[in-house]
């Protein structure tokens, strides 16, 4: 494996840092989307040449990996893990202060997204509530940066993502799952899939897919009847409920 996380970070002396690059990449992605992120444009925003970026970063994919992991920093853990060894630059794991100042709505273009349950704070009341809180926050963070959906096909091996996955494993183990692998896997799959599907479907103009399906109502009657314009938040919660209920059932045995 060869990615940003496994390579040792080169020390920086000042001026342009990895942190600034990632920060600006995030801004660029949020404002213009993933297709408009080019090394030249990113360099321009940083008042430097594109070549310079390659001193701090090996490939463009590194930038994307770093930006993607930075998203996970916004996901607050119900009960934070004790901090451990220092981290590579540009990816300190979870700010000291809660990121409550991050606006819940930073969607550049389309309609409201993730307008419902945003990453919640500490939660008590059983493992289901904890997991639900984490998954909601996870989803909300990704939806706040819709470009992430295009990028979720790469390994989530950054410190921030790993820390949250670790927390998920711990929670499930504590809850009594002897082998939490399948459970954690299912939950991650569900969140990723739902984000991708939602972004995909609502990125086109509203009602467009509806019209598309209505024209083909003869061939796809059930689809045309129910439509694809979900109430996203409620639907997500409902499906998550199915998953959690099934897990609880298996846990009791």
* Residues that bind a copy of itself in the complex, under the rule CB under 8 A: 1, 5-6, 84-85, 149-150, 152-155, 157, 159, 162-163, 165-166, 169-170, 173, 179-183, 185-186, 188-194, 196-197, 199-201, 204-205, 208-209, 211-212, 216, 218-223, 226, 230, 234-235, 238-239, 241-247, 249-250
Binding residues among 27-46 for DNA as defined by CB under 7 A: 37-41, 43
Query: 248 by DSSP, 3-state: which?
Result: helix
Applying CB under 7 A, which of residues 32, 33, 60, 123 lies at the interface with DNA? 60
Helix-then-strand count for the chain, H and E: 10, 0
Two structure tokens written together for 10: 């080169």
| Residue 249 interacting with DNA (CB under 7 A) | no
Residue of 53, 4, 51, 3 lying closest to 24 (CA atoms): 53
204 C-beta neighbours (distance < 10 Å), count: 11
The binder of 214, among DNA, a copy of itself, none, by C-beta within 5 to 8 A per type, is none
Neighbours of 62 (CB within 10 A): 20
Binding residue for DNA, selected from 32, 45, 52, 188, defined by CB under 7 A: 52
d(CA 51, CA 250): 54
171, exposed or middle or buried, with CB in 10 Å at 0-12, 13-18, 19+? buried
* 188 part of the interface to DNA, by CB under 7 A: no
Q: Is 13 in the site for DNA (CB under 7 A)?
A: yes
To DNA, the closest distance from the beta carbon of 151 in angstroms equals: 13
Task: Give the interface segment with DNA, choosing from 9-17, 69-77, 99-107, 235-243 (CB under 7 A).
Answer: 9-17
Q: Are 29 and 21 in contact (CB under 8 A)?
A: no
Query: How far apart (Å, rounded) are the C-alpha atoms in residues 7 and 127?
Result: 36
Structure token digits, residue 94: 């979870």
Q: 17 or 165: whose CB is closer to DNA?
A: 17
> Using CB distances below 5 to 8 A depending on partner kind, what does residue 41 bind out of DNA, a copy of itself, none?
DNA
> Which two tokens mark 3?
């990615």
CB of 70 to a copy of itself, least distance (A): 18
Identify what 52 binds: a copy of itself, DNA, none; CB under 5 to 8 Å per kind. DNA
**97 alpha-carbon distance from chain centroid:** 20
Q: Which residues bind DNA (CB under 7 A)?
A: 10-16, 37-41, 43, 47-52, 54-56, 58-61
């Amino acid at each position: 494996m060869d990615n940003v996380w496994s390579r040792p970070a080169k020390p920086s002396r000042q001026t342009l840092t990895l942190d600034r690059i990632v920060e600006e990449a995030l801004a660029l992605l949020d404002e213009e989307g993933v297709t408009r992120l080019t090394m030249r444009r990113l360099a321009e925003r940083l008042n430097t040449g594109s070549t310079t970026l390659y001193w701090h970063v090996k490939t463009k994919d590194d930038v994307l990996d770093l930006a993607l992991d930075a998203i996970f920093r916004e996901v607050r853990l119900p009960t934070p893990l004790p901090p451990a060894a220092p981290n590579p630059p540009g990816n300190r794991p979870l700010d000291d202060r809660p990121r409550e100042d991050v606006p819940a709505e930073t969607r550049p273009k389309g309609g409201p997204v993730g307008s419902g349950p945003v990453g919640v704070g500490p939660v008590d009341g059983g493992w289901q509530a904890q997991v639900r809180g984490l998954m909601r926050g996870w989803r909300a963070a990704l939806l706040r940066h819709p470009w992430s959906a295009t990028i979720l096909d790469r390994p989530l091996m950054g410190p921030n993502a790993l820390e949250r996955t670790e927390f998920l494993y711990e929670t499930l183990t504590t809850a009594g799952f002897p082998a939490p692998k399948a459970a954690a896997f299912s939950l991650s799959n569900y969140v990723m899939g739902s984000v991708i599907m939602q972004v995909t479907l609502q990125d086109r103009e509203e009602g467009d897919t509806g019209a598309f399906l209505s024209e083909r109502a003869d061939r796809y009657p059930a689809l045309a009847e129910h439509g694809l314009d979900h109430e996203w938040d409620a639907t997500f919660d409902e499906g998550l409920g199915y998953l959690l209920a099934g897990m609880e059932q298996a846990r009791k045995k």
